Amino acid sequence: MAAYIARRIGQALLVIWLAYTLVFLAVQLLPNDPVTIFLSADAAADPATIAAMKAQYGYDQPLIVQYFSQLVGLFTGDFGYSLASGQPVGERIGAVVGSTLVLASSAFVTAVVFAVVLVASATLARKPWLKRVVLNLPPLFAAVPVFWLGLVLLQVLSIKLGIMSLFPDGSFASIAVPVLVLAIHVSAPIAQVLLKSVDNVHAQPFIDVLRAKGASPSWIFFRHTLKNAAAPAMTISGITVGTLLAGSVITETVFARSGLGQVVLQSVTAQDVALVQGLVLLTATAFVVVNLVVDLLYPLLDPRILKSGTHGAPRALVA
């Protein structure tokens, strides 16, 4: 077990390092250094100012020094300085990341619950027509764009019905509606994969044995099928982090919430390369961490995963 965890964590660190290197190289491929790009938004930048700013932010150092000092910074929480505000990038992101995290994680939990409820009702529905209706929901959810659903709900709920404020006011609706908009979109792929996976599990002989024991369909579904079918759905859930972050940016913009969405928008329009660099790394890290968690959860679901590694460990884990 320890070897499995160590290997996965090692892989995660490797991916973050590669992501950092890639971003660093991409910045070097830009026609100019970050400071020149940032200042070129103004009409005519003073060469002396450029040189001073470069020296201040360390962009005058040799590339190899920049690479390693930024890499060290990465592990000590120092992400450099935003060129636009002069604030440390870490602070700038830290100030708003909480709000986005609340939105994204609530949406994620809601999406998973959605997906499970959907799949359970499709599987356990007695009426064939109900089953067909439910089966068609995930493709519909996947097809509806987040911004469109958000705008329509905003239009109906606050402008037509007036039961929700146009701007976040701390009310339940002002949190629940954005969460719902995001969750619906994220739940679609999870539900689709889970459905397929449940079908595969139900085709296996052990399901017949369970029925022969006298287990009801819901007993089989909740006590056996779900655990067997969860792994592929979890893999997809890990991959939805990207959708979740992109969706958060859109949702925040539509619902005028503060959060990463605003920072992303501002940093890109202001050509604040240092800040963009920080945001990209944050996204990559979020991706890696979530997928690391997923990897570490697999053995809890299926004891066979550790079989090739250490023998006997899974028993202690699941007991």
Residue 162 contacts another protein per CB under 8 A: no
Figure out which of the listed residues 40, 49, 171, 216 binds another protein, where binding follows CB under 8 A. Answer: 216
SS (H, E, C) 124-167: HCCCHHHHHHHHCHHHHHHHCCHHHHHHHHHHHHHHHCCCCCCC
Q: State the minimum distance, in angstroms, from the CB of residue 227 to another protein.
A: 5
d(C-alpha 279, C-alpha 84), whole Å: 15
By beta-carbon proximity to another protein, the closer residue of 198 and 264 is: 198
Figure out which of the listed residues 7, 65, 208, 317 binds another protein, where binding follows CB under 8 A. Answer: 208
Sequence-separated (6 or more) residues with CB below 8 Å from residue 30? 37, 273
Q: How far is CA 184 from CA 117, 137, 178, 246, 277, in A?
A: 13, 10, 10, 14, 30
Q: State the minimum distance, in angstroms, from the CB of residue 239 to another protein.
A: 22
By beta-carbon proximity to another protein, the closer residue of 68 and 227 is: 227
Figure out which of the listed residues 117, 155, 167, 315 binds another protein, where binding follows CB under 8 A. Answer: 315
Residue 206 contacts another protein per CB under 8 A: yes
Figure out which of the listed residues 124, 215, 270, 293 binds another protein, where binding follows CB under 8 A. Answer: 215
What residues form DSSP beta bridges with 81?
88
Span near another protein by CB under 8 A; candidates 5-13, 84-92, 200-208, 261-269: 200-208
Residue 205 contacts another protein per CB under 8 A: yes
Q: 127 exposed, middle or buried (CB, 10 Å; 0-12, 13-18, 19+)? A: exposed
Residue among 158, 148, 159, 118 at smallest CA distance from 135 = 118
Residue 124 contacts another protein per CB under 8 A: no
By beta-carbon proximity to another protein, the closer residue of 18 and 223 is: 223
By beta-carbon proximity to another protein, the closer residue of 64 and 319 is: 319
Please state the φ and ψ torsions of residue 65, each to the nearest 5 degrees.
-65, -45
By beta-carbon proximity to another protein, the closer residue of 160 and 311 is: 311
Q: 213 exposed, middle or buried (CB, 10 Å; 0-12, 13-18, 19+)? A: exposed
Q: State the minimum distance, in angstroms, from the CB of residue 217 to another protein.
A: 8
Residue 30 contacts another protein per CB under 8 A: no
**What residue spans of 30-155 are helical by DSSP H?**
34-39, 47-57, 63-76, 89-124, 128-135, 137-143, 146-154
Residue 212 contacts another protein per CB under 8 A: yes
Q: State the minimum distance, in angstroms, from the CB of residue 105 to another protein.
A: 27
Between CA 216 and CA 225, with CA 222 as vertex, the angle to 5 degrees is 90
Instruction: Please report, as a single letter, which amino acid is at residue 36.
Output: T
Residue 301 contacts another protein per CB under 8 A: yes
By beta-carbon proximity to another protein, the closer residue of 234 and 288 is: 234
Q: State the minimum distance, in angstroms, from the CB of residue 219 to another protein.
A: 7
Residue 302 contacts another protein per CB under 8 A: yes
d(C-alpha 139, C-alpha 51), whole Å: 54
Residue 127 contacts another protein per CB under 8 A: no
By beta-carbon proximity to another protein, the closer residue of 24 and 219 is: 219
Are 283 and 275 in contact by the 8 Å Cβ rule? The answer is: no
Residue 313 contacts another protein per CB under 8 A: no
Residue among 270, 246, 271, 274 at smallest CA distance from 260 = 246
- Residue ranges binding another protein (CB under 8 A): 204-206, 208-216, 219, 224, 227-228, 301-304, 307, 314-315, 318-319
